[in-house]
Structure formats: structure tokens, C-alpha cells
Amino acid sequence: MSEHNVDVLVIGGGPGGYTAAIRASQLGLSVGLAERAELGGVCLNWGCIPTKSLLHTADVMREAMAASELGLEISKPRFNLKKVVKRSRDVAAQLSGGVSHLMRKNKITVFAGNAMFQDKNTVVVGDDTILADNIIVATGARARNLPHIQADGDRVWDARSAMTPTFMPKKLLIIGAGAIGVEFASFYNTLGAKVTLVEVMDQILPAEDSEIADLAKQSFIKQGMEVLTGTGVDEVKVAGKSLTALIGGKNRKFDAAILSVGVSGNIEDLGLEAIGVEVDRGFISVDEYQQTSVDGVYAIGDVAGVPCLAHKASHEGIIAVEGIVGEMPHPLNKERIPGCTYSHPQIASIGLSEVQAGERGEIKVGRFPLLANGKAVAVNDTEGLVKTIFDASTGALLGAHMIGPGVTEMIQGFAVAIGLETTEAELMDTIFPHPTLSEAMHESVLSAFGRTINF
């Protein structure tokens, strides 16, 4: 049993927690970090990163399958599932090791184990008792189950099982068409599974602009998926090597199902109630500086509420730490958080959807299809649209929504624009390099004001 004194203790070593810890160290604070599993959290180990490895495999395979269109003769590519999964795990392991290194470099003491509050300044992790002036809860979230459908890791998979498959299902049911469900749908569909994507809401990717979501749906259907919106899965029965799902009154057979119906905050077994931290619908309530209802206790990232995105978590980590040292940070503006889905086609967005923006006032909407973009034609990938939404009176960029190749890398251009509060005038005045897919961003802005050149 050893006792430690630190200025800041971070509970959870995901992208929010480890970023907060590093920032605190940079600001001269002594920092401890408690992690019960792997450094890097879900993002690095069981989320963002390993799925990008899987999806990259799928992207290369898709391109190889279309190689003849480019004048290449390649025999039909085949995958080795074991190797595909192994690469994904290796990538995660490599990056998790990188976080370890960062902790050492920044002189952050890592405590391995489950953390439990004794009081608002004392946390016990295994044999260690840590006294901290400030504690940042960054415990993240985990995949939700449904009351009537639970992941079993055998035939009904959560995200973790879905990224470590031991066999390729011939027929795969995906329940929930948020970003996670859609990415798995895209991966498995490309590798040959017959995918049925079911979403209870009226559109897939419910967080996205409906026009973009509709384009994605059309594309998925064209690629061979079955997409059912406004549809729930009423029952899943596993029998041996298959399962039966009751969908829209019909029993359907699948080899496996992925449950991707959102996440819930990891608020349990921390002793939060004992010290009086308020929670609301499964997430810790915080103010704009990430302060919880208990003085000196902060919460960041998934556990502090939606949207559950790594980049939101790390940003909140910085806000919390800078608030602790009294550097007046700027509260997070949730309307300026970009979101990306790495399916094929990719989807990326920031700000308000057309419907949301329209509810606030008069808007101008620009659209530019990739079909009219020279680079898209050259690289044989013209499926896509760049949509921009402006406040008609002020010219403020309220939202940008993109679907198509490369858009997850391009959205940052609009994120910078929104962050700097540019109006249409500056965007129009910016020179976009030719030939690039990003020219479609420029054209979309021009289009909102009736000035598009190439369409």
C-alpha cells in the first residue's frame, strides 16, 4: 500500500485522458493516470484505429477489384481474415505502446487497475492511494446492449468482437446504422458478406444531414447491401452456427449479427455517487469547463456526454486542465466538432445540417457533385457531393457535409474556416489547388451564392 500526492489525477487513459495528462504535465503539474486496461483506450485499441486498419484493407481490395477499369490486370484479390485481423491488432498495439512512451516522456505516473473514489480528493487504484487536488474522470463509454438483444461474442457481436472475427459470415445482420454500424457494414460488404443494415430511425447515419445520409444509403444499396430504415429488430435467437432475427414481422436467418446501437458512459464502480457527482442519463453532468457538480472533480470525453468522439474528448481534456491552472480556456462549441465515417463512400461533416440550420433562419445552400470534379474523374471515384450551408444574412458558414473519396481528410478545411469564423467572402477568395478533390469545396461555396464555375 503506497500513497501518492499529485496535482492532477486522470482516471482513464484514452484519447481524452492521456491528452489531459500530457497537457497538465506541460503546464508544470504533477500528474498521475489510472488505466484499468490498455493505454489509448477504446479509440486506439478497440475503436477508431483498428477499424481504420480493417477498412483500409477493404479499400485496397475494392480498388484491386476495379483495377481492370484502370487498365491493370490483377487476378481477383482474396483475403486472409486472420492476417487482416492481425494487422489491425498490431497497429493498435504499436500505437498503445506509443502512448506508454508519451507517459514516460511527460513524467506521468501510470497506475494500472480500477480506480475508486474514497473522497473527492482521494482515489484508490489497486494497492495505491492517490491524493490529488484535481481529478479528471475520463473513463469513456462502452457499447450498449438492447434490453431484448445482448451481444454474446459468439454470433451476436459487439464492436470488439466485430473487429476480431474468426470467420467471415455469409449473411450478416447489422443492428444500428450509426457511424460504427455503417463502417462495419462497409468492411464486411466489401469482403463479401451479404450485409443487412437495419436502422430504427428514418435515415441511416442519423447524426448526418439527411441528403448526405440518403446518398450513402443509395450507394450502399448499389454495392449490394440491404438497407432497412425505420425498422427495428424485435428478436434475435441464436441456434448453433446461425441466428434468426425477427425484422418487420419476418424471421430472417443470418450467420452473425453486429449490435451497434450506441454507447453508454462508464460511470459505474467508481464511487461517483458516494462523493456526490451528478449524472444524467448515463453520463456525468459537467459545465462548460468540464467541472462536475463536485468541486475539483472534472469529467471529459464520452463519459461526459455525446457526441462520443475521440477528438471531442481530447479537446475537453485540454479545456479541463487549462481551467484547472486558471488559463481561461474557450469552452467547447459542440457545433464545431467535425464528424467522420470511414465507410465507402466516406462521409464527413461539421456544423448544422440543412434542416437544423433552416430552423434557425434563412440559409443559403451550396452543392457540388464530385462528378464535375476533374480529379475525381481522373481517379475513377466520382460518387460524392460537397454541401455547404450559410447563414443568408451574415454569410457565416453554418455547416458543411461531404460524401465521397477523401472527404474525411478534407473536412478540416471547413473546420478551420468555421473555427476562424470566415464568411463566404474569405472562402470564395481562397485559392484551392488544381486538380484536387478539395476544389469541390470551393465550388460548393460558390454554388451557395450562385457563382459556381464548373457545374
Catalytic residue ranges: 434
- For the beta carbon of residue 154, count every other beta carbon within 10 angstroms: 12
- Contact flag: residue 327 with another protein (CB under 8 A): no
Q: Is 2 helix (H, G, I), strand (E, B) or coil?
A: strand
Cβ at position 361, least distance to another protein in Å = 5
- Contact flag: residue 421 with another protein (CB under 8 A): yes
Cβ at position 324, least distance to another protein in Å = 19
Q: Which stretch binds another protein (CB under 8 A): 9-17, 89-97, 150-158, 388-396?
A: 388-396
Look up residue 448 and give its three cell numbers: 451557395
Cβ at position 356, least distance to another protein in Å = 11
User: Starting at the edge strand that comes first in sequence, how are the strands of the sheet with 242-247 ordered?
Assistant: 233-239, 242-247, 250-254
- Contact flag: residue 393 with another protein (CB under 8 A): yes
Cβ–Cβ < 8 Å for 192, 168: yes
Calculate the CA 214 to chain-centre distance. 20
Determine the number of helices (DSSP H) and then strands (DSSP E) in the chain: 14, 24
- Contact flag: residue 273 with another protein (CB under 8 A): no
- Contact flag: residue 337 with another protein (CB under 8 A): no
Nearest Cα residue to 390 out of 428, 343, 440: 428
Pick 229 or 423: Cβ nearer another protein: 423
- Contact flag: residue 361 with another protein (CB under 8 A): yes
List the Cα angle 71/74/75 in 5-degree steps: 140
- Contact flag: residue 425 with another protein (CB under 8 A): yes
Cβ–Cβ < 8 Å for 196, 184: no
Cβ at position 396, least distance to another protein in Å = 5
Nearest Cα residue to 48 out of 86, 96, 12: 96
Instruction: Name which position in 67, 131, 392, 428 contacts another protein (CB under 8 A).
Output: 392
Which residues on neighbouring strands pair with residue 251, listed in sequence order? 246
**Nearest-angstrom CA–CA distance, 37 and 183:** 25
- Contact flag: residue 356 with another protein (CB under 8 A): no
Nearest Cα residue to 179 out of 369, 397, 340, 368: 340
- Contact flag: residue 335 with another protein (CB under 8 A): no
Cβ at position 425, least distance to another protein in Å = 7
Q: Is 213 helix (H, G, I), strand (E, B) or coil?
A: helix
Look up residue 279 and give its three cell numbers: 449524472
- Contact flag: residue 394 with another protein (CB under 8 A): yes
Look up residue 100 and give its three cell numbers: 506508454
Pick 239 or 420: Cβ nearer another protein: 420
Nearest Cα residue to 427 out of 435, 436, 151, 416: 416
Instruction: Name which position in 229, 426, 435, 436 contacts another protein (CB under 8 A).
Output: 426
**Nearest-angstrom CA–CA distance, 125 and 80:** 41
- Contact flag: residue 268 with another protein (CB under 8 A): no
Q: Which stretch binds another protein (CB under 8 A): 50-58, 97-105, 235-243, 359-367?
A: 359-367
Instruction: Name which position in 26, 359, 378, 453 contacts another protein (CB under 8 A).
Output: 359
Q: Which ranges in 106-204 belong to alpha helices (H)?
A: 159-162, 179-190
Cβ at position 318, least distance to another protein in Å = 12
Cβ at position 298, least distance to another protein in Å = 21
- Contact flag: residue 420 with another protein (CB under 8 A): yes
**Nearest-angstrom CA–CA distance, 255 and 394:** 53
- Contact flag: residue 288 with another protein (CB under 8 A): no
Q: Is 300 helix (H, G, I), strand (E, B) or coil?
A: coil
Tell me how far CA of residue 443 lies from CA of 211, 344, 430, 450, in angstroms: 18, 23, 11, 10
- For the beta carbon of residue 79, count every other beta carbon within 10 angstroms: 15
Amino acid (one-letter) located at 316: E
Cβ–Cβ < 8 Å for 391, 366: no
Binding mask 93-132 for another protein (x = CB under 8 A): ----------------------------------------
Cβ at position 446, least distance to another protein in Å = 17
Using CB under 8 A, count the residues that bind another protein. Answer: 16
Binding mask 197-216 for another protein (x = CB under 8 A): --------------------
Pick 239 or 328: Cβ nearer another protein: 328
Instruction: Name which position in 423, 435, 449, 455 contacts another protein (CB under 8 A).
Output: 423
- Contact flag: residue 287 with another protein (CB under 8 A): no
Which residues on neighbouring strands pair with residue 198, listed in sequence order? 175, 228
Cβ at position 323, least distance to another protein in Å = 15
Q: Which stretch binds another protein (CB under 8 A): 122-130, 144-152, 312-320, 414-422?
A: 414-422
Instruction: Name which position in 88, 292, 422, 438 contacts another protein (CB under 8 A).
Output: 422
- Contact flag: residue 360 with another protein (CB under 8 A): yes
Give the footprint of another protein on this chain (CB under 8 A): 330, 359-362, 392-396, 420-423, 425-426
